[in-house]
Structure 1
Amino acid sequence: MKKPKKIIVVDFGGVGDLVLSIPFLRGLKTAFPSTEVSVLCADRAGMILKEQSYINRLFLSPITLLGLFKTGLQLRKKRFDMAINLMPETSYFSAIKMYLLFLLINARQWVGRNTEGRGFFYDIKVPEQKMQIENEVLLYGRILKTISNEDFEKRLELPCSEANKKRAGALLSRERKLRKYPFVLVNPGADWPAKRWPIERYAELVKRLKESFPHCEFGIIGTQAEGELAHFLKEAVGDRVFILSGKTPLEILPAVMEKACLAITNDSGPAHIARAVGTPVVILAGPSAPAFFTIQGRKESHVIYHPVSCAPCLKVSCDTMSCWQAISVQEVVEVVSKMLERKINEINN
């Protein structure tokens, strides 16, 4: 295969998906060092890739038909040799939208995942028999192997610039009252309700951790739209809790998480950010596929997951929440306590 001069990588996933794409982007640049690599992603999540050295150009687009149409016409002028879609074709409707976008971009070669046969329009099809079975990083590795015959290092990383570290430090100085204490970050939110451990259980968890660790603070992170969850926790738990929800721009969130001694989170973007920046993390994975976490991060991570007959699933909401009911507060307290004790001993020594 002739080496492409210009590649556009399309990834309209969330923050976590983009973090998981970094090993692929690093490997792509290693396989094609002289190739100009551009990335197209959703404007709501794409800032997480802003400072990645493996990307020559970053394009952000709203995920609306009009937004994608305008972006496609803009990218058409760039005359890409290859377009690669990293995301699965979750339905025939999503496949048709991607087909139309690729028509607009008009790259010479189209590459993508043939998810359950829905990637029929790609020139180079990477087989995917069923969604949420294979780790995304490993699947991206198969894409790179197909187009370059090269493997890549599957290490997660997310470097933070000095400027963003300073911004993160200033934010924490403003919001924290007990700055000499180590702090734990708690993320009770996720993109949709079915991916959230019940907020009442988060409240009970933080209450019990406060009692066991009197010299720790607890910070609540999340989007502005998840502010209600943060305020519920603050009111339920009381002192030694500070709210960062809606106050942490995406580009400085990695630097904020890097400063925490531990993170507790649902399966969402912050789970992967913590693993990439080297913060120990406990991940609650109710309906998620545990295969997503088989690639180790830079520090200790522990995934709490109990298989149920209906998981993994992609439901936005759920009446039974049986996967979440299987995860008790006591189980999470025990896992977090062991990890937090080790981390505090490490800090003190």
Structure 2
Amino acid sequence: MQLSTMRRIDALVGRPLCFLLGSWARCVDRLSGGSHPEPPRRVLFVELSEMGSTIIAAPAIQRAHALCEQPPCFVIFKRNADSLRLLGLFKEENIFCLPDTSLMAMFFGVLRFRSWCHQRGIDTVVDLELYARISSILTVISGARTRVGFHNYRAEGLYRGNHLTHPVNYNVYQHMSANFMALLDALEKPASEEPGPRCAPRPAEQVVSTPIKLDLQKHLMEQLKQRCELPADAQLIIINPEAGTLLPIRNWARKNFALLSQRLLERDERNVVILMGVPDGQATIEWIHQEVDDPRCVNFVSCTRNLDDVLQLCHLSRVLITNDSGPAHFATLTPIPIVTLFGPETPTLYGPRGPHNANLFAGLACSPCLTAFNHRNSGCTDNICLQRISVQQVLDASCKLMDDAAQAGPA
């Protein structure tokens, strides 16, 4: 389904369902004496639509492994499930893939979800979503007696029901990894109506990493050699110029990526620029490729067969330069330095974590304009916030990260 269609369904159907199911859940809680006071036995995480957020949530998920008797479970849209598998924190039978190709498919998926939760003895749900009401609906439908999630309290904003036994204040001044950790902090405390949790934010450093897979790297190098003559000591630079079709406002101008590629190739004859992306970005990447017109600039669209290939390409490369999108977060599972371009959203909340990253952000008064309070639905059609980031700034940041990594030596 298109994003606009999902927003309309969420607004028209989501509001009354959140009210009805939330009221029903509250009545059940009162009749049964409230939520379970004992530690959770099995936690279900809900994060449907944000592939990058599953990576940001990794520290919170690891903490749930330590807190609970049984391995946690996860529900996610089927099209996004590969991002979750990258973490290696969930057994396949503990991942529920919800279809979202149509309203009918989603409806029958929700019916199966209720039975799936019952079979696994889910007693606690942690809702990682900020925007969608469907995650609130799934939280209640799961049948869990303990429900943790973000709540707006007295703030104006999206109504997502009043069903949470452990409501948590969404803190716009804390990185999302710290916000996710706050959900686990709340889970360790008694149920409360008060804004919480009332404790210092916990650090949430990324500790998950992916191993080198030589067979996949061999395949990728063969693909590269078919497309260009690699220097013997080639230095691979990945550029991801598309942020996806759902939020095109997050895209830096393609002419900037073309000029940046030319400058990188001029800087060192060993540099090879790899233009990476999904098939939807083929037109943009082909335009950049033709504009650069250099044999060391490679159109690599569709050559990465899955996210595993993307990570192995990161292992092979010197730096990743990308719009604010999923690959910026996936790459944190490898040692590669990352340059991420922010504008409509802020690195304060969503910047990739790690010591070898540069998050470029102009910080205009109107930015960020995609937030939890407008359902990521900005009225902006001219992303001046990204246009203010110059090619020279990105070039300088990229070269510094590569030089620093060269001086530090192999990780």
Structure 1 length as normaliser, TM-score?
A: 0.88
Segment of structure 1 superposing worse, 183-192 or 97-106: 97-106
Task: Please tell me whether the aligned partners of residues 165 and 252 of structure 1 are also in contact (alpha carbons under 8 angstroms).
Answer: no
Within-5 A mapping of 1:56-71: 56=91, 57-63=94-100, 64-71=102-109
Which residue identity is paired with 2:78? D
Q: Which aligned pairs between 1:307-346 and structure 2 lie closer than 5 A?
A: 307-314=363-370, 315=377, 318-344=380-406
> Paired residue for 1:171?
220
Match of 2:308 among 225, 242, 251: 251
| Corresponding residue number in structure 2 for 1:148 | 188
Structure of greater Rg = 2
Deviation at 1:185, TM superposition (A): 0.4
Q: Structure 1 residue 347: deviation in Å?
A: 5.9
Shift of 1:236: 1.1
Name whichever of 120-129 and 16-25 sits farther off.
120-129
In 1, the alpha carbon distance for the partners of 2:350 and 2:378 equals: 21
Measured after TM superposition, the shift of residue 274 of structure 1 is 2.1
Query: Partners of 2:88 and 2:397 in 1: how far apart?
Result: 36
Question: Is 2:166 the counterpart of 1:111?
Answer: no
The CA deviation string for residues 62-81 of structure 1, in whole angstroms up to 9 with x for no partner, is: 23433333332223223211
Distance 1:240 1:283, change over 3 A: same
Distance in structure 1 (CA, Å) of the matches to 2:97 and 2:285: 29
CA RMSD of aligned residues (A): 2.5
* Partner SS, residue 242 of structure 1: strand
CA contact (8 A) 2:77 2:99 kept: yes
From 1, 6, 12, give the equivalent of 2:48: 12
Go from structure 1 to structure 2 and tell me whether the alpha carbon gap of 1:29 and 1:308 turns closer, same or farther (over 3 Å shift).
same
Q: Which stretch shifts more, 237-246 or 189-198?
A: 237-246
Distance in 2 separating the partners of 1:21 and 1:166:
29
SS at match of 2:72: strand
Identity %: 20
Equivalent position amino acid for 1:190 in 2: A
User: Aligned partners of 2:345 and 2:140: how far apart in 1?
Assistant: 33
How far did 1:83 drift? Answer: 1.7
Does the 8 A contact of 1:209 with 1:333 survive in 2? Answer: yes
Using a 3 Å threshold, how does the CA distance of structure 1 residues 81 and 9 change in structure 2: closer, same or farther? same
Corresponding residue for residue 85 of structure 1: 127
Indicate conservation of the 8 Å contact 1:186/1:221, yes or no: yes
Distance 2:409 2:71 in 1: 43
Q: Which moved more, 1:43-52 or 1:150-159?
A: 150-159
Q: Give the structure 1 partner of residue 112 of structure 2.
A: 74
- Structure 1 residues 46 and 332 mapped into 2: Cα distance closer, same or farther (>3 Å)? same
Which is worse superposed, 16-25 or 120-129? 120-129
Structure 1's consecutive aligned runs of 4 or more residues displaced over 4 angstroms after TM superposition are: 149-153, 344-348
Alignment length (residue pairs): 338
Q: Structure 1: 5+ residue runs without aligned partners?
A: none
Give me the TM-score of the superposition, normalised by structure 2: 0.75
Gaps of 5+ in 2: 1-36, 190-198, 371-376
Is the Cα–Cα contact under 8 Å of residues 263 and 279 in structure 1 kept in the other structure? yes
